[in-house]
Structure 1
């Protein structure tokens, strides 16, 4: 019997990612040299951003996924602003194969969280007296692949030392 969407699969067997809740775990914005830093600058700021993704399983089908974004804007040696954001979501993953679970948690879940984290940062920077900072889109698949390569290289190095 069809489920009404044109496929013959039962509706409860389709893979699903459900965002149960999203939340800010920790957030800090610093504007250490205001109001001096809010005036015109001779040079454009140097903006540095670091991204990290963490996840932990909290139930059979539920995972908490965190995006950690740290950034700063400097001109010469002067800090204009700094921020740290730990933005998280609780995701329920249903009917996803065990082989696909880790990539879904580490790529797709952060991809769903990112636009909200991006807006929090933009609003905070604007509230600090600067033009909003819209963090460029992040390729979470590339970050995931790079992390796998780092782990493989570390394991390969450890195995080489053991022999």
Structure 2
């Protein structure tokens, strides 16, 4: 699993660099010219671009990284973290191959689809701190040490909007 996720990560980073979405320092580069759906809407371009970079697109913190509660994240030269026989993570790429569904097993297929289409936000893990910011606590501590993220209400709205696919794109 570690070698497979390592190969996926390296090839994806190479592809992103070749198309100009990632520079040599592993920093994301905005390329709205490459995607027609972004040419007519600057706000959508900023929103999606910030979303993939873990940055804030709008408001007073625009351009800043999402505030994490925990430790940082390494992009490249990370050692693959094998989490089991069918799960591995490296450089932010995660491969999970633990679910197998037979072509004839409709019930398990429906369960897998229901799991994949679940809500991206568990409201019971969302709280407001003393400064009026929203704290979203992760179900488990991430491998990079992040246990929660800190967002203003506007930043949360922006992140949720970025999850909605544009018309005719899904």
TM class, shorter-length: under 0.3
- Output the TM-score relative to the length of structure 1: 0.23
Which protein is bigger by CA-based radius of gyration?
Answer: 1
| Structure-2-length-normalised TM-score | 0.22
